[in-house]
Amino acid sequence: MIVDLRSDTVTRPTRGMHEAMMSAEVGDDVFGEDPSVKALEEKCARKLGMDAAIFCPSGTMTNQIGIKILTQPYDEVICYKGSHIYKYEGGGVAGNSLASVRLLDGDRGRLSVKDVADNLNNSHDVHQPFTSVVSLENTVVREAGSYYYLKDIALISEFARLKGLKMHLDGARFFNALTETGDSPADYGKYFDSISICLSKGLGAPVGSVLVCKKELEVKARRIRKVFGGGMRQAGFLAAAGVYALDNHIDRLQEDHIRARELGSVLKNRNWVKSIMPVDTNIVIFSIIDRITPDQVLAKLGAHDIKAIKFGDHEIRLVTHLDFDDRMLEKTIDVINKLSF
């Protein structure tokens, strides 16, 4: 039995998802003729309380389109310093939007109104880049899946609006956050101009992300998607997997969180583990004692067919997901308890 905890992207379609994909009605989506893509887009827009949505191949693309439709060249984007849009998208904000980033620490990656207020440039000073967007990430992947409550987002958004700033949300693990907060997805739309959600993470679809945005931004977003090479043809097979995931895989996310917490509590007691970040959702990040390396730990886990990834010089990350069940959890706990260095 192989246990793959490297990422929540490693899942395979379930039988039900497979059937939904195989029976999808499709058409050429570049001509706007794929009914399954349209159904997914309408469902996402409605679910998040916004009026437009665009299906894309990846979360990197939905983030990059989101930032591009909200900025002009030379603008500045305020975000957490470890945010995906900055750290894991290959410099796309610079390359695609010709914008700079203002990198903040936040509280485990979560920004506050004060963070935004303190980093807002003076729009009348020609020396300073024009601050145009606040980009939040929920959950924060680099901070072991910490999450925002909507009431805190509302405060940031109200302040941003007052200052004429646009709001983008990288919601790659949006539903993981909501699983913990109980906030309603439909209440999110009013606080953002664009929201990116991933279907290929915890939701278990093989491919795809959706950019949900304001109606007036839709045409621009579709144009940028085409420019980025994201216009897909009979993409309905993939969109059907997304619809299935939204219908069937949101409620079960709490199982992933419970299993992640169990892994966290087992790791906490090992003498080769130095510290562990709070396990808030489905991501476990821990650091190991100085005299050993992540590669040594990964090799020992690997010898038992357990895969994890190095997440820094002295850190390791485990992510729970749809294809990690209780049998695998038991095996992993057993192996972790027996490891010694």
Ligand X SMILES: *Cc1c(COP(=O)(O)O)cnc(C)c1O
Residues binding ligand X (CB under 6 A)? 58-60, 63, 84, 137, 141, 170, 172, 198, 200-201, 209
Q: Residue 263 half-sphere exposure, CB side, CA atoms within 13 Å?
A: 32
176/273 with CB nearer ligand X: 176
- Smallest separation (angstroms) from ligand X to the CB of 199: 9
- Smallest separation (angstroms) from ligand X to the CB of 108: 14
Q: Closest residue (Cβ) to ligand X? A: 59
- Smallest separation (angstroms) from ligand X to the CB of 112: 19
**Contact present, 152 and 187 (Cβ < 8 Å):** no
Give dist(CA 211, CA 59) in Å, integer. 8
- Smallest separation (angstroms) from ligand X to the CB of 17: 18
- Smallest separation (angstroms) from ligand X to the CB of 163: 25
170/262 with CB nearer ligand X: 170
Give dist(CA 141, CA 196) in Å, integer. 14
**Contact present, 275 and 284 (Cβ < 8 Å):** no
Q: Which two tokens stand for residue 208?
A: 């795809």
12/161 with CB nearer ligand X: 12
Contacts 24+ apart (CB under 8 A), 246-255: 246/40, 246/43, 246/44, 246/47, 246/199, 246/203, 248/16, 248/17, 249/202, 249/203, 249/204, 249/322, 250/175, 250/179, 250/203, 252/322, 253/175, 253/176, 253/179, 253/202, 253/282, 254/179
Give the amino acid at 170.
Answer: D
Q: Which two tokens stand for residue 327?
A: 């049998």
65/329 with CB nearer ligand X: 65
- Distances in Å between the Cα of 28 and the Cα atoms of 21, 33, 176, 184 are 16, 5, 32, 33
Q: Residue 24 half-sphere exposure, CB side, CA atoms within 13 Å?
A: 27
SS3 per-residue string spanning 235-255: CHHHHHHHHHHHHHCCCCHHH
- Smallest separation (angstroms) from ligand X to the CB of 303: 28
97/120 with CB nearer ligand X: 97
**Per the omega criterion (within 30 degrees of 0), is the bond before 181 cis?**
no
- Smallest separation (angstroms) from ligand X to the CB of 172: 3
- Smallest separation (angstroms) from ligand X to the CB of 139: 8
